[in-house]
Amino acid sequence: MEEKERYALVTGGSRGIGRAVAVRLAQDGYSVIINYTADEPAALQAQEVIRNAGGTAELLRFDVSCPEQTEKAVADWHEKHPQAYIAVLVNNAGIRRDNLMVFMPDADWHKVLDTTLNGFFHITRNLLKNMMTRRFGRIVNISSLSGLKGMPGQVNYSAAKAALIGATKALAQEVAPRKVTVNAVAPGFIKSDMTRDLDESALKKLIPAGRFGQAEEVAELVSFLVSDKAAYITGETISINGGLY
Ligand code: NDP
């Protein structure tokens, strides 16, 4: 018998934007799979928020930058849910390792690309086959304003996020006949642990809307992109940045 539940996996779903997306997709009726790699208490807290609101969430710990861990975690999940498939994938896991290019250590270049770009490749390739054979899937890649305009001090991060946009456009064309959509979301400054060290009062003067965005605002956009209403939107990159370009 087919499992009736619809599953959505959010990478880096334990904190920040990913957590807000997980909470929102649970409200939309998805059984949410919260991926994380290090901060177990944060992941448990995210799960509790969803459960307290009457939703369903499970945790799946793996490092998206590691192909073996990713493959094993997904295989273990399928063993527990033999009839199910993951219909929605939000590639949100990401890190910053900022430095001017001349001072950038090899490790910081590779770690950022491994997480954002290779992470996208490892998990997406794995889940894509089922989406295509079931003839429904939604993939949303969390890119960044940095990937659109390039940010000094973030050559690694800008390169990874720009690459994600190219991958979004290419993959969208590969899988559109199977009713799988692939889109990117490019947030500007959003309040989260990732932006905690930034000078918000100075930076918000540059933002036409005069403030940082909330993770929940990004989650609303993701919720729309995975809905049936967005079936004809694919290969797009949608900015959510308060007018900052
Ligand atoms: P946070 O630092 O608040 O959260 C990052 C999340 O990613 C955590 O859940 C973390 O889990 C997880 N994570 C990190 N590395 C890995 C990994 N290798 N494998 C699995 N999970 C991982 O970040 P934000 O919420 O701010 O950002 C989320 C996404 O949005 C990122 O891709 C970021 O680049 C992007 N973005 C953010 C903006 C902002 O202003 N905040 C602006 C534009 C884009 P754990 O703690 O367990 O490692």
pLDDT in tens, 106-165: 999 999 999 999 999 999 999 999 999 999 999 999 999 999 999 999 999 999 999 999
pTM over 0.75: yes
| Assigned domain for 140 exists | yes
Domain of 39?
A: 3-240
Instruction: Report the CATH number that the domain containing residue 162 is assigned in CATH.
Output: 3.40.50.720
Q: Contact 11/90 with Cβ under 8 angstroms? A: yes
Residue 15 has pLDDT above 80, yes or no: yes
Give residue-wise pLDDT tens across range 21-70: 999 999 999 999 999 999 999 999 999 999 999 999 999 999 999 999 99
Residue 104 has pLDDT above 80, yes or no: yes
Q: How many domains does the chain have?
A: 1
| Assigned domain for 49 exists | yes
Q: What is the pLDDT of residue 4?
A: 67
Q: From the CA of 13, give the closest atom in ligand 1.
A: 9
Tokens of 35: 């991926």
Ligand 1 proximity of 147 Cβ (cutoff 6 Å): no
| Assigned domain for 245 exists | no
| Assigned domain for 63 exists | yes
| Assigned domain for 138 exists | yes
Tokens of 51: 């459960």
Cα–Cα distance between 19 and 182 in angstroms, integer? 20
Give residue-wise pLDDT tens across range 191-243: 999 999 999 999 999 999 999 999 999 999 999 999 999 999 999 999 999 99
Active site residue 245: no
Residue 2 has pLDDT above 70, yes or no: no
Q: DSSP state, 205?
A: G
Report the residue among 194, 195, 206 best suited for mutation to probe ligand 1: largest number of ligand atoms under 8 A from its CB. 194
Q: What is the pLDDT of residue 30?
A: 98
Residue 117 Cα distances to 18, 25, 142, 147, 166, angstroms: 17, 23, 11, 12, 11
